A and B are shown apart, each in its own frame.
Chain A
Amino acid sequence: MADRPAPARRIVVLLAVLAGLAGLGPDPAHAVLPEEVLANPAHEARARAISKELRCVVCQNQSIDDSDAELARDLRVLVRQRIVKGDSDDEVIAYVVSRYGDFVLLRPPVKGATLVLWIGPIAIVLIGLLALISYFRRAGREAENAGR
């Protein structure tokens, strides 16, 4: 008899492989260099949180917290300098946005120009649902008519 793994064992093997692959992925925390870290842990935590919201304008699909790009590093340092100087989180973010525009925000703000981004997906799902409902209703009616 051929030795085949039982389905349950197969799933366990698959999960183990996936977990292994996940472990191989880049650790996003590694972009921050030791010398950048602030002495005050509260400041550092705020800097990390802000950095995760800001897009690296060179690599574009990473936050500056993830990115090894030099400009991302300089932006991280700038964020930390402003925190140490006493800026609030909003003030730090507003400063970077004033230089680079809303594009640097990984979560774009809800406003006129970005409304399509926020409403668009919901609208498309709603349209699809309505189309499905009307289709099944009609199909049901036709089946009823045919059965009569």
Chain B
Amino acid sequence: MSRRFLFLLPLVLIAALGIGFWFGLQRDPQALPSALINKPVPEFSLAAIEGSARGFRRDDLLGKVSLVNIFGSWCLACRIEHPFLMELKANGVVPVYGIDWREPDRQAGPEWLDKFGNPYRLVGDDPRSEGAIAFGVTGAPETFFVDRKGIIRYKHTGPITRDVWERKLWPIVQRLRAES
């Protein structure tokens, strides 16, 4: 009896593989799991962007829940999330720090921030990817959620939209704040 249906076995196997691959294809190959989740923010120290007095370094992040956002004036998706970051700043929701990644020249970043507004508490200039590599960044925008002890707890790839913020990101900030 069981032998009669043995010819179906390859079909079932192929179907299972197909379903597996189909789900695999839904995943974004660019969204890599961060190797730095639950690890301390690596040591880094970035110079100030032009027209700004202070740069941005690791120790700026200690003692509070904060966000580190990788952006650049060349990055279109950063333009999409920018108004929402401005809103976070205006409402004092959570401090956001910026890494200005790989600008074509010294002026591009500051001009972009002058034109659209500066949502960041501090901005570090990162022309040689020193900061980006410290955070294991593969593209912009990426946003890291850092807890009070300076440990990276979450990474968001792609623009922060109101929907993602309310559904996913704000609860993470609240959870990190609730920790002692």
**Residues on A close to B: CB < 8 A?**
57-58, 60, 70-71, 74-75, 77-78, 97-103
Provided the pairs A71-B129, A71-B132 are in contact, do residues A101 and B32 lie with their beta carbons within 8 angstroms? yes
The 0/1 profile, CB within 8 Å of A marked 1, for residues 134-169 of chain B is 111011000000000000000000000000000000
**Residues on B close to A: CB < 8 A?**
29, 32-36, 39, 42, 102, 128-129, 132-136, 138-139
What residues on B are CB-neighbors of A70 within 8 Å? 102, 129
Q: Most chain-B CB neighbours within 10 Å: which of A58, A75, A77, A99?
A: A99
Main secondary structure of the interface of A (DSSP, over half): helix
**Chain A residue at smallest Cβ distance from B33:** A101
Main secondary structure of the interface of B (DSSP, over half): loop
CB-based contact A98/B138 at 8 Å: no
What residues on B are CB-neighbors of A57 within 8 Å? 32, 138
CB-based contact A99/B42 at 8 Å: yes
CB-based contact B128/A103 at 8 Å: no
Write the nearest CB–CB distance from A10 to chain B, whole angstroms: 39
28 examples of A-B residue contacts, CB within 8 angstroms: A57-B32, A57-B138, A58-B138, A58-B139, A60-B29, A70-B102, A71-B132, A71-B133, A71-B138, A74-B102, A74-B129, A75-B129, A75-B133, A78-B133, A98-B35, A98-B42, A99-B35, A99-B42, A99-B135, A100-B35, A100-B136, A100-B138, A101-B32, A101-B33, A101-B34, A101-B136, A102-B35, A103-B35
Write the nearest CB–CB distance from B127 to chain A, whole angstroms: 9
Q: How far is the CA of A78 from the CA of B42 in the complex (A)?
A: 15
**Chain A residue at smallest Cβ distance from B127:** A74
Q: How far is the CA of A87 from the CA of B30 in the complex (A)?
A: 30
